[in-house]
Amino acid sequence: TLFGDENRIWVDFDSIPKNLRDATIAIEDKRFESHHGVDWHGTVRAVFRTLTNGNTQGGSTITQQLIKNLTEDNETTVKRKVTEIFRALEFDRNYDKDTTLLWYLNVIPLGAGCEGVGAAAEKYFGKPVSELTLAECASLIAITNNPSKYGPYSLAKVANSKGELWDAKQWNKYRQELILNQMLKEGYITQEEHDQAVAQELVFVGMEAGSSGDS
């Protein structure tokens, strides 16, 4: 366990629930198991967006995101993206998928000073990551997309498509359900498991009530 500028509790692969690993793949990189570090389908789309509007975001695999987190190179340039691609291809040649996923889940920023799922599970739910329910797994991985928007302890308020201001707990619930829907679509969970997870109240440690935002 490390404290200071970051809060990190390193967890081994067997301690990470399968639901958490599946949620990550379903929402972040559905072809993770079959590509070699780079998803060329997503890369082609990202290149097209870059050429049309200069946006170099998107198209990143779990491996590429890991590389970015490890190097802390967040420059939004074509050169950085190309370098990231070559690093991801090399990384995939040297490490298996379980190792890549293990490192990714241990280094991703999850808001409230938490780096990795071990610290985040304790911070938000007051339990080891191994004890997270399906609903909590989806809620946790929802944060990584934008911790300031989806992190339950964030004070930010962002308007939804109807112009209604939602707090971070509402946005977390919204993205959690999006992830659960994607897990169902990809065949990771059954309809019953999906419905039970959606219905489960999310109770965050130290907060008065769970999240129940509309979706």
SS3 content of the chain, % helix, strand, coil (to 5): 55, 5, 35
Give the pLDDT score at 44.
57
Q: Sign of torsion, CA 174 180 185 191?
A: negative
For residue 55, the tally of other CB atoms under 10 A from its CB is 11
pLDDT score for 30: 93
pLDDT, residue 38, reads: 84
Q: Is pLDDT at 213 greater than 50 in this prediction?
A: no
CA–CA distance, 77 with 54 (Å, rounded to integer): 9
What is the number of alpha carbons within 13 Å of residue 203 lying toward its C-beta?
5
pLDDT at 58 over 90: no
Output the six-digit token pair for 127. 């339990």
β-bridge partners, 109: 115
Question: For 65-119, how does the pLDDT look when each residue is reduced to its tens digit (9 = 90+)?
Answer: 999 888 876 666 677 778 888 899 999 999 999 999 999 999 999 999 999 999 9
Report whether pLDDT(155) > 70: yes
Local confidence band at 211 (pLDDT 50, 70, 90 cut-offs): very low
Q: Alpha carbon 200 to chain centroid distance?
A: 20
Cα-atom radius of gyration of the chain, to the nearest Å?
Answer: 17
- Compute the mean pLDDT over every residue in the chain, rounded to the nearest whole number: 87
Is 133 exposed, middle or buried (CB count within 10 Å of its CB: 0-12, 13-18, 19+)?
middle
Residue 95, CA distances (Å) to 34, 83, 89, 142 in order? 14, 18, 10, 26
Task: Give yes or no for a contact between 69 and 107, defined as CB atoms under 8 angstroms apart.
Answer: yes
Inter-residue contact 127 to 20 (CB < 8 Å): no
Q: Residue 42 pLDDT > 80, yes or no?
A: no
- Kindly report the number of other CB atoms within 10 A of residue 44's CB atom: 11
